[in-house]
Amino acid sequence: MTKSLTEDQEKRIAATLKRIRAGLSGAAGDHFGEPSHLFDPEAHDVAKPR
Amino acid sequence: MSQNLDSLTDQIRDLAEGRQAPVSLAERALARVQSHAELNAFVAIDEEIVMTQAKAAQLRWQNGAPLSPIDGIPIAVKDNYLTRDYATTACSDAAPLEPAGVDATVVANLRAAGAVIFGKTNMHEWAYGATNTTSNVGVTKNPHNPAHITGGSSGGSGAAVAAGVVAAALGSDTGGSVRIPSAACGIYGFKPSYGRASRHGVLPLSWSLDAPGPMATELQDIVHLMPYFLGADPKDRSTAHAKPFGSLPDVGPLKLINLTGAGLERSAEVDGAVNAALRQSAAQVEQRTLQDIDRYFAAWEAILHCEASAYHQPLLQTRAEGFSPVTRAHLEAGTRLTGVELLTAQKLRGDLIRYLTTDLGDWDALVLPTLPVPAPAHGEDWQEFGNRRVTTQDSMTWFCWLGNLSGLPCVTLPIAKSSKGLPIGMMLMGRPGADEALLAAALRIDHTLKSKG
């Protein structure tokens, strides 16, 4: 059985999430801009001759 | 530390001219592993495996049929690349210990060219940190001063090259893990553009941030190695449209942009070294302030933790105790971020790429120090510079993560030594996909700086 997290680990996680959320909350930029996730269906079509 | 190291370029020339033979190169490298054992650069090395490869290469040279110019040259491999003969542990007790029986694509490419896959190098556990002080085989020591860290996560590769054990080694880079130890150890390191180098067989940390890259004694060595990294690999769909490594373009007068701003502070010593290098570079240099660093850094960190947690879910559920306490905390943090937060991070990522590539206008390279401070001493938990006090871990990735979040190619050059004799590196970032142009610009700058002493 997986051990539960220690107090130190929980503090570290809380600090990490606080830092990330503080940064992300200020996000403005291009309101209509699409996230830069990559999705290239053709790249996965390995059967297709290239 | 060894002086006047043989570069890969030297070894290529010596093999071609018959002044060196693969067996003697391998024997010398094995001897240097022993004489530099205190650095703890290697996780696994098997003399029989090394010499079998070297003898086969020597026979090919004797028969006048080498597989390539690097046939018989020893190259060390970070312990997160799958290798046919060695187990791949990522320096973690959570990893399986059996050899995979297959090579990562980059390793396979090098092996097909006759390179001697020399041994596996120490690294920060799962590449999830930049100090090389968290490893299940212990810390790696800096050849310039063993009281100082190598940086990481490819710290064993950095130490092995800087100590002259091998002329070149493989690293991987998610937030600077090729460039950080290269700069801290005074060698050259290159992170290719996202989508040009196959990551197949390199244990992932964060799919969209990871890149495999070479670390070497000279910049020309990197040029020799790039063909084995770049190009389409059906086993890594991110490279579906990747071009193979091409010839280096002619470069005209260079325009560099020196990035500064809140969040890009550096020590006075490092700042002085970079400014001196830029003055000597004979390039046109413009200074620009990068805004919103905290937001972009948050985006990098969110993507990093989410992707690492997704990859490690099976191990996290079955062998969580195998991770070091800090690595496990990172992974747990990733599970607590939301989908909206991840997409917000990806949106910021797009904003950063557009700013760097479009809003900043025309440029040949963006310039930053590779590290804000020279290699910290072992046991130093905090670094202070430019009115900042940050953890040593954060100081190591201080600038480098920008290259991973944006996907731009990056190279680090050693440019100076600190007052304590520790190396200082300068980082150049190129345009996406334009790895050859970045190398051409870097070669020009490196040559100019060396010619001015």
User: Hunting for tokens 């996560």 — which residue is that?
Assistant: B153
In-domain check, residue B304: no
ipTM of the complex: 0.91
Q: Are residues B230 and B266 in the same domain?
A: no
Q: For residue B426, what are the CA distances in angstroms to B18, B38, B166, B368?
A: 36, 28, 23, 6
In-domain check, residue B55: yes
pLDDT of residue B96: 72
Q: What is the Cα–Cα distance from B115 to B117, expressed in whole angstroms?
A: 6
Q: Are residues B106 and B145 in the same domain?
A: yes
In-domain check, residue B312: no
For residues B129, B299, B403, B183, the Cα torsion angle rounded to the nearest 10 degrees is: -30
Q: Are residues B286 and B208 in the same domain?
A: no
Q: Are residues B128 and B152 in the same domain?
A: yes
pLDDT of residue B245: 98
Nearest Cβ partner for A16 among B208, B333, B349 = B333
pLDDT of residue A26: 74
For B61-95, b/e burial (b = at least 16 CB within 10 A) is beeeebbbbbbbbbbbbbbbbbbebbbbbbbbebb
Residue of B250, B251, B237, B279 lying closest to B426 (CA atoms): B279
pLDDT of residue B1: 47
Q: What is the Cα–Cα distance from B164 to A50, expressed in whole angstroms?
A: 42
Is A22 in contact with B294 (CB distance < 8 Å)? Answer: yes
In-domain check, residue B1: no
Contact (CB<8Å) B348/A5: no
pLDDT of residue A28: 65
Nearest Cβ partner for B329 among A3, A12, A30 = A12
What is the nearest CA distance from A38 to chain B, expressed in angstroms?
8
Q: Which of B171, B204, B239 is the last residue of a domain?
A: B239
In-domain check, residue B307: no
Q: What is the Cα–Cα distance from B96 to B357, expressed in whole angstroms?
A: 41
Q: Are residues B194 and B93 in the same domain?
A: yes
Which of B344, B349, B354 to mutate to probe the A interface, most A CBs <10 Å? B344
DSSP single-letter state for residue B233: B
Q: What are the chain B neighbours of A22 within 8 Å (beta carbons)?
A: 294, 298
Q: What is the span of the domain harbouring residue B131? A: 8-239
Q: Are residues B292 and B221 in the same domain?
A: no
pLDDT of residue B2: 43
Q: Are residues B208 and B261 in the same domain?
A: no
Going by pLDDT thresholds of 50, 70 and 90, the confidence category of residue A29 is low
Which of A17, A36, A38 to mutate to probe the B interface, most B CBs <10 Å? A36
In-domain check, residue B78: yes
Burial of B345 (0-12, 13-18, 19+ CB in 10 A): buried
Q: For residue B23, what are the CA distances in angstroms to B28, B52, B70, B261?
A: 9, 9, 13, 51
Nearest 5 degrees, angle CA B245-CA B104-CA B312? Answer: 120
| Residue A39 clears pLDDT 90, i.e. is over it | no
Q: Are residues B195 and B283 in the same domain?
A: no
Structure tokens at A16: 């990490």
Please report the beta strands in B320-409, taking only residues with DSSP state E, as ranges in sequence order. Answer: 365-369, 382-385, 388-391
Q: What are the chain B neighbours of A21 within 8 Å (beta carbons)?
A: 298, 341
Q: Which residues contact A6 (CB under 8 A, 6 or more apart)?
A: B325
For residues B205, B211, B212, B216, the Cα torsion angle rounded to the nearest 10 degrees is: -120
User: Hunting for tokens 């490819």 — which residue is that?
Assistant: B154
In-domain check, residue B95: yes
Determine the 3-state secondary structure of B244 from DSSP.
Answer: coil
Please give the full DSSP string across B106-130, using - where no structure is assigned.
HHHHHHHTT-EEEEEE--SGGG--S
Q: Are residues B273 and B196 in the same domain?
A: no
Contact (CB<8Å) A23/B238: no
Kindly give the residue spans of alpha helices, DSSP state H, lying in chain A.
7-25, 41-44
Number of domains in chain B: 2
Q: Which H or E run includes B443? A: helix B435-451
Q: Which residues contact B394 (CB under 8 A, 6 or more apart)?
A: none
pLDDT of residue B453: 74
State the 10-residue block means of pLDDT for chain B, 453 residues long. Answer: 75 97 98 98 98 98 98 98 95 82 96 98 97 97 98 98 98 98 98 97 97 98 98 95 97 96 97 98 96 95 98 91 94 97 94 94 97 98 96 98 97 98 98 97 98 84
Q: Are residues B278 and B166 in the same domain?
A: no
Residues of B that are catalytic: 78, 153, 177
Report the DSSP pairing between strands B211-216 and B168-173. Answer: antiparallel
Which CATH number characterizes residue B55's domain? 3.90.1300.10
pLDDT of residue A34: 78
Residue of B132, B97, B152, B165 lying closest to B319 (CA atoms): B97
Is B126 in contact with B328 (CB distance < 8 Å)? Answer: no
Q: What are the chain B neighbours of A40 within 8 Å (beta carbons)?
A: 237, 240-241
Structure tokens at B253: 């007068």
In-domain check, residue B324: no
Q: Are residues B277 and B162 in the same domain?
A: no
Contact (CB<8Å) B336/A17: yes
Q: What are the chain B neighbours of A6 within 8 Å (beta carbons)?
A: 325
Q: What are the chain A neighbours of B313 within 8 Å (beta carbons)?
A: none
| Residue A1 clears pLDDT 70, i.e. is over it | no
Contact (CB<8Å) B347/A40: no
Q: Are residues B234 and B269 in the same domain?
A: no
